[in-house]
Structure 1
Amino acid sequence: MDFLTTDLVDAHEDSVGVLDPILRPYGGTPRFAGPIATVKLFEDNSRVREALAQPGEGRVLVVDGGGSMRCALLGDMLGELAVSNGWAGVVVYGCIRDSVALGKLPLGIRALTTHPRKSQKRGEGQSGLTLRFGGVDFVPGHWLYADEDGVVVADRKLL
């Protein structure tokens, strides 16, 4: 997909959300886009694995991990699962681990930072909710566009 978030914002300024610059890029694909799927959890990545085990069909999984800096919610095994199931990207309001391995995958990834500790596996969390962090609402089915300049959210496909 060929786009620039700067061009999208210029052309649709009144109808897109622009994520505050709080996330860093980690995946091997710096530019990615797709319909949004969501999970909300705290220090338990069970729902992340559950979501990424489903066919991604070019979607972007947005994970609201509450901004926790105490463990990672995505690592290399889940990244490989996302790629094998056709996900375009994963956006994590929290931490990831295995950043070198994730950087080699054909997957877009944004996260707050890295952390070597894995998360708990209690089966907690919710899917399919509207999430809010970084000044943007992430609504399932809306579109997310990410590139080297930032993350833009729109209520429809713009390209």
Structure 2
Amino acid sequence: MPVPGHRLHPSSPSVPSEVLDGFRNAAVAVVSDNMNRLHGTRQLKPFHRGARLIGTAVTVKTRAGDNMALHKAYELLRPGDVLVVDGGGDIGQALVGEIMMSRARALGVAGFVIDGAIRDVAAFTASDFPCFARGVTHRGPYKSGPGEINVPVAIDGMVVMPGDVVLGDEDGVVVFDRSVAAELMVLVHQQEAREAHALDAIRAGKFDNSYIGASGIADPRDGAR
């Protein structure tokens, strides 16, 4: 068994299309709510024009400011994969730029999630290629390693396993194991229906706040009763 720090594993099977299709239009906030609001990014920001991200996680763990392992991971990337990079949150050197983004698009990669910095930001903001990252710098990466591929990684406080479902929109990124997809999908659809009903009620002037439950705050209409 390879020693940690030296691991390079093959990619997990791609997430089935029926799972991806079930979440393709789901809001990250709603999915997060149904994972008890404990899982997901907090500080990573979208740098692309607004396309949604969904796909299969291919993970990379790299030394801060070094993208040698990312280049190696390109040998494994398939259409629909999401390159998820644990760069330790460092923003001193960019890990990807326009060339790596263009190459990923040509391979059919679904997008990037980078716990580190990017550069060539104008190319990303003009593109519909999904890219979430911690920051921006013009300073380029080193290419000497080390790094690992398809190992568990920590992204902005979120643990990502190789083969996880990755979902991103304007609010951020969440991931989950495909084995819980069916159960999670039911919960998401139930919340979507509740929220649609609440919005309809607001438009009709009938919204009822009672679902929140007792708050312990006195009703001012109670007076001195």
- Give the alignment's TM-score, normalised by structure 2: 0.64
Is the contact between residue 46 and residue 172 of structure 2 (CA under 8 Å) also seen in structure 1? Answer: no
Q: 1:150 aligns to what?
A: 172
- Tell me which structure has the larger Cα radius of gyration: 2
Q: 2:98 aligns to what?
A: 76
Is the contact between residue 18 and residue 151 of structure 1 (CA under 8 Å) also seen in structure 2? Answer: no
Instruction: Name the structure where strand makes up a greater proportion of residues.
Output: 1
1:80-110 CA distance string (max 9 Å, x none): 0110001111111110000101222331101
Alignment of 1:4 with 2:27, yes or no, is: yes
Is the contact between residue 60 and residue 149 of structure 2 (CA under 8 Å) also seen in structure 1? Answer: yes
Instruction: Name the structure where helix makes up a greater proportion of residues.
Output: 2
Note the C-alpha offset of 1:29. 4.3
Counterpart pick for 1:24 among 36, 40, 45: 45
Amino acid at match of 1:92: I
CA distance in 2: counterparts of 1:134 and 1:123, whole angstroms: 21
Q: 2:56 aligns to what?
A: 35
Is the contact between residue 52 and residue 87 of structure 1 (CA under 8 Å) also seen in structure 2? Answer: no
* Structure 1 gaps, min length 5: none
3-state SS of 2:122 partner: helix
Counterpart pick for 2:162 among 126, 140, 148: 140
CA distance in 2: counterparts of 1:80 and 1:108, whole angstroms: 12
With over 3 angstroms needed to count, the CA separation of the structure-2 counterparts of 1:41 and 1:55, relative to structure 1, is closer
With over 3 angstroms needed to count, the CA separation of the structure-2 counterparts of 1:55 and 1:153, relative to structure 1, is closer
Task: Return structure 1 stretches of 4+ with deviation > 4 angstroms.
Answer: none
Query: Aligned pair count?
Result: 157
User: Does 1 or 2 have the higher relative contact order (CA < 8 Å, sep 6+)?
Assistant: 1
With over 3 angstroms needed to count, the CA separation of the structure-2 counterparts of 1:114 and 1:36, relative to structure 1, is same
| Percent identical residues | 32
Aligned 1:71-150 pairs, distance under 5 A: 71-150=93-172
Is the contact between residue 4 and residue 147 of structure 1 (CA under 8 Å) also seen in structure 2? Answer: yes
Amino acid at match of 1:40: K
Note the C-alpha offset of 1:53. 4.8
State the Cα RMSD in Å: 1.9
